[in-house]
Amino acid sequence: MVQSPPRTAPERSGRRPSRGAAGFLRDLIVIIVVAVLASFLIKTFLIRSFYIPSASMENTLQVGDRILVNELVPGLIPLQRGDVVVFTDPGGWLHNDPVPPPSDPISAAGEWVLSLVGLSTQDANDHLVKRVIGLPGDHVTCCNALGQMSVNGVPLQEPYAVLQPGSSAVSGTAFDITVPKNRLWVMGDNRYDSADSRYNRDTPSKGYVPISDVVGRAFVVSWPISHWSWLSDYPATFDGVRAAGG
């Protein structure tokens, strides 16, 4: 009886076949396309970065800080009193506090890398950052006998506000306004060094910020690392304020 020789498993060399230059190039193109698409989606719909060029939001934000902004506000997430928001100049607000260009090759390279993922600050020159005090319909007045601002008749305790030494007044300018429809009344935390709604009443926007001009809500200080912090909307300050007409 003749027996067939036993079958043996094919030898394995233990080496994976090389994909070659064509495979590497294809993978590289896919990575680049995905990165560009991710950058577009992040910058368009999710997060952007901005540079703080002035002292108007001290001590919450310092000159030179970089902040990350949630662009889902106000499109999908409604604005709240106390939110720190970035908005485009409604017209005549900006007074030439430009974002300085990178001062060295390393910083320039870093800015370029950030631009790939939508976190560059290159377009920050056309924007401002302030805190939302009044929503559409709100009646905002200042100041009462204690120097406080009131919203819809409720005096505010504002721990974030920087005042003049020896003064309890949260504003050096008195005002009594009702916020129009689809507009915001905004103020800087550094109350005596902020060209905010109070000081732009003679501009085309009459000192109000159209909600359509809001880029998003700032939620974190991302740079420098020593300043890293979440940005609060201070709910305790505004919890007692009822909606306009409420």
Residue 13 annotated among the catalytic residues of the structure: no
Contact in structure between 134 and 82 (CB atoms under 8 Å): no
Among 58-67, 101-110, 194-203, 205-214, which stretch is predicted with the lowest mean pLDDT?
101-110
Measured CA distances, 11 to 4, 5, 8, 16, 36 (Å)? 20, 17, 8, 13, 44
Among residues of the chain, what percentage have pLDDT more than 90? 63
36 or 5: which carries more pLDDT confidence? 36
What pLDDT does 116 receive?
47
CA dihedral 52, 45, 90, 218 (to 10 degrees): -40
What pLDDT does 115 receive?
53
> pLDDT (tens digit, 9 = 90+) per residue, 58-94?
999 999 999 999 999 999 999 999 999 999 999 999 8
Q: Is 1 exposed, middle or buried (0-12, 13-18, 19+ CB in 10 A)?
A: exposed
Give this prediction's pTM: 0.76
The three-point CA angle 110-116-122 to 5° equals: 65
Catalytic option among 43, 49, 120, 130: 130
- Structural tokens at position 122: 């290159």
Q: Is the pLDDT of residue 117 over 50?
A: no
Among 63-77, 102-116, 148-162, 216-230, which stretch is predicted with the lowest mean pLDDT?
102-116
Residue 43 annotated among the catalytic residues of the structure: no
Catalytic option among 49, 56, 197, 205: 56
What domains appear along the chain, each with residue ranges and CATH number? 22-238 (2.10.109.10)
Q: Is the pLDDT of residue 234 over 70?
A: yes
Spatial distance between the Cα atoms of 233 and 131, rounded to a whole number of angstroms? 8
Residue 17 banded pLDDT, cuts 50, 70, 90? low
